[in-house]
């Protein structure tokens, strides 16, 4: 007579275990009724490269007495100048300067630029306007220096005054002195940009 009672008890115990299994699984996993127990879906935002701080533009180079003329190897009637008052070495070791290109008819193109010797690149921060003011470039980008037979101003500055020949120059004053030398430093026969092409 005790066997049916034991069977009923066993069945009841089994049903109780089956009923408790979902609760045990629920307790082990995230509780949908408790948002704090759910796994976080927060995704760390992608870190963007640090933006360069806004560059302070120099005084507009409207005084030709401050200009240093330099010759290029290009066949051109244009004349090239760097404004001595704007020439500086920035914290990132790039060389910043105002460049003036004057045509044979007297038309001038003015720009404020930076040159990076370690990568042979140049970047333009602003252009001069006909009113004698700076027009800032919104997103200045580094561009590789290319050999330019039409003008050649960047290649010349890189090779003769700012980077290659001026490897011993440590200050802007050193570069100004180098540019003022009467021999104008003849260029080398090898292409100074060959390592960056």
Q: Which residues of the chain have pLDDT under 50?
A: 26, 47-50, 185-190, 193-197
Place of tokens 């069945």: 11
pLDDT for position 94:
94
**Domains of the chain from N-terminus onward:** 64-188 (2.40.128)
Q: Which two tokens stand for residue 125?
A: 């921060």
pLDDT tens-place string over residues 20-34? 555 555 455 555 555
Q: Look at residue 58 in the predicted model and tell me its pLDDT.
A: 96
pLDDT at 10: 53
pTM: 0.67
What Rg, from alpha-carbon coordinates, does the chain have?
Answer: 35
Q: Across-strand partners of 111? A: 99, 127
Contact 95, 115 (CB under 8 A): yes
């Amino acid at each position: 007579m005790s066997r049916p009672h034991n069977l009923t008890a066993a069945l009841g115990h089994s049903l109780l275990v089956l009923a408790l299994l979902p609760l045990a699984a629920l307790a082990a996993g995230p509780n949908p009724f408790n948002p704090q127990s759910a796994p976080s879906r927060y995704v760390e935002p992608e870190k963007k490269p640090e933006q360069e701080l806004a560059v302070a533009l120099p005084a507009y180079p409207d005084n030709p007495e401050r200009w240093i003329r330099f010759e290029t190897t290009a066949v051109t009637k244009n004349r090239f100048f760097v404004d001595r008052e704007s020439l500086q070495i920035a914290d990132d070791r790039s060389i910043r300067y105002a460049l003036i290109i004057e045509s044979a008819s007297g038309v001038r193109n003015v720009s404020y630029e930076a040159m990076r010797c370690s990568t042979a690149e140049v970047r333009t921060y602003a252009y001069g306007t006909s009113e004698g003011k700076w027009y800032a470039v919104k997103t200045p980008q580094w561009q590789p220096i290319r050999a330019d037979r039409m003008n050649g101003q960047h290649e010349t500055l890189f090779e003769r005054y700012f980077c290659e020949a001026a490897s011993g120059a440590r200050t802007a004053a050193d570069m100004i002195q180098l540019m003022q030398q009467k021999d104008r430093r003849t260029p080398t026969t090898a292409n100074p940009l060959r390592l960056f092409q």
